[in-house]
Structures are given as structure tokens and as C-alpha cells.
Amino acid sequence: MASTAVAPIVFELPAAAPGSLDVQWIHGSVSPKHNTDPDIQVHPYNEHTIILRQNMAVHAEAPFMFLLFGNDRAILLDTGATRSPDFFPLRQTVDGLIDRWLEHHPREQYELVVAHTHLHRDHFEADPQFSGRPNTVIVGKTLAATQEFYGFQHWPQEQVVFDLGGRRLQVIATPGHEEAEVSIYDPYTQLLFTGDLVYPGRLYIRDWEAFADSIDRMVAFCQTHPVSHILGCHIEMSIYPRLDYLIRCNYQPYERPLQMTVEQLQSMQGAIADIDGKPGIHIFDDYIIYNGVPDRYFTYEVMNPDAEPGDVC
């Protein structure tokens, strides 16, 4: 690595950095065995912001992951649903992306932070691929570890800053789907990453009061911060309102876009008022709220308490 450093990248801009979501996401195939898509789709939103999606033929959850570069470090938000690098070469893919970025922006001792939007297994299964990687920090998979890493003192009301080196992410505690869930706002792109709390699909709620409070907190945040797009970690809704794909479906040919709007987020406050805490499945145009209905990972782990990590993959 050359020792000559380039000028720092300016991430504090008067408006959102431009980016592209003009992309056809890989969405599985009729026969997963004969799928020819890459194991991981890589889409550059812009030079410093990468969106990755796991192939639905590798794992039906097909989660999205996000790689954000700063002057001092990059952060990888989530590591997907499959542990094996033979089937899901996430570290190889991320290392290649970092190497290419460093060719244009050389830095010594560039750090990678492996973090999680929340602690469900389809979002951290590939963590072990990064074990032993130089200059790498893997955030622990507990609520306490999440709070300690970001520096939360008054969870969940507090918002904290995590600095990538001039790219100062704002971290918002958003439990409800899972107790350690965070949403992350990037002022550089004005993207709001919302994990599994908000996305076009089935929103599984474990703690109703925490979920309602988190939505209120995010709506209030969006009233004082410009948001270009809201990006969750899954697509499960079709282009037809109120219609989702079957659970564990490996083929979703008519998916709606990943990105959601602030108006769609605000609509959740009305949905929450309508539901009023009632358990059950509540269907709306852009999402389906499963209140108190166990998701498939929770059900699997309860029924299989001795399951090894990766058994659901």
C-alpha cells in the first residue's frame, strides 16, 4: 500500500450526495438449483456507498446489506443469512470492494467495522467469515454490546453519532422487532437504514409498545432531517398493494422497490393507532404488521433449542 495519503474526502455537503437506485435486484428463480445469478449482488449507490443482496437461491430471506466508506473506516451493516463462504462468499466480496476503494483512496491501517441492524440470525450468520481479519471490529451480538459499542447512555431515547472519519452516522435506537435493533441515518446520502423495523414486507413485532415508540421517534427524526430514501433489509411485498409473497418463497418476480418514503413511514402511525395493540396479522398497502405472531426464526429456535448456527440456512 502506498504511504502517500490523498486529501480527505468531504462528506459534509449542503445537499444529499447523489446516488442511484436504478437497479433490478436479483429475485430468485423458479428452480433454485438452476439459478445463475451471483451469490451476492453488488450495487454501488455511489462511490462510497454499496448495497449488497444475498441470492434468494442461497437463502430465501435474501437480506440486503450495506457497506459505507469513511476516511478512517468502513462499516458493514449486517452479514446475511448463510455462514459458509463456499455458498456465500461475503468476506471475499467485501474485501474486494474495500481493496478497489483503497486503490482510489489509499489509506494505511484502514479499519472495517462489522455491525448489525439487529440480532436475528439472517443478519449475522456470516460474522465468522471476518474472524481474524486484520483491522476489523465485530460488534458483539447482545443488547449490552450494541449499547457499549455505539456509546448509548440513555437507551432507547438517545441518538448517538458513530464517525467513519468525516462521515458521521447518526444511530437511533429502534427496538420493537428485536430488542437491540438500531436504525442508522447517513447525512452524506440522507439515507435512513431501518433494518427489519421498516421495509416493504412482513413486520414482525415482539414488543408492541417499543415498536410504537420507535416509529414515533423515527417520524420525529424525519421531521428535522432530510431523508432521500428509507432502506430496510428485505423485500417481501409485490408491486400489487397489500399482497406479499409466501414465506420462504425462492422466487419473487414482481417485487416492489426496496426504497420507501417518509410518507410511508408516517403512515405507520395511523396503522399503529388502528391496530391499538391487538395481536394478529394486520394488512396494509405497503407492509403487513405481524403483532405478537412469532416469525419463522423465533419459531425454529424454540422448536429446535439445540440447533447449531446455520441450521436454518
Look at residues 184, 165, 77, 188 and name the one whose alpha carbon lies nearest to residue 124.
Answer: 77
Kindly report the CATH class assigned to 32-303. Answer: alpha beta
Q: Which residues contact 197 (CB under 8 A, 6 or more apart)?
A: 118, 174, 176, 177, 181, 183, 203, 211, 214, 215, 218, 232
| Domain residue limits, the chain | 32-303
Reported confidence tier of residue 296, pLDDT bands at 50, 70, 90: low
C-alpha cell at 57: 437461491
- What percent of the chain shows pLDDT beyond 90? 90
Cis peptide upstream of residue 18 (ω within 30 degrees of 0): no
User: Mind listing the pLDDT tens digit for each residue in 208-236?
Assistant: 999 999 999 999 999 999 999 999 999 99
Whether the CB-CB separation of 9 and 106 falls below 8 Å is answered with no
Question: Comparing C-alpha atoms, which of 288, 93, 265, 311 is closest to residue 203?
Answer: 288
Q: Can you give the pTM of this predicted structure? A: 0.93
Report how far residue 30's alpha carbon sits from residue 103's, in angstroms, rounded to the nearest whole number.
39
**pLDDT beyond 50 at 139:** yes
- What confidence tens digit (pLDDT) does each residue in 246-280 have? 999 999 999 999 999 999 999 999 999 999 999 99
First to last CA, the chain: 38
Q: For residue 174, give the amino acid letter.
A: T
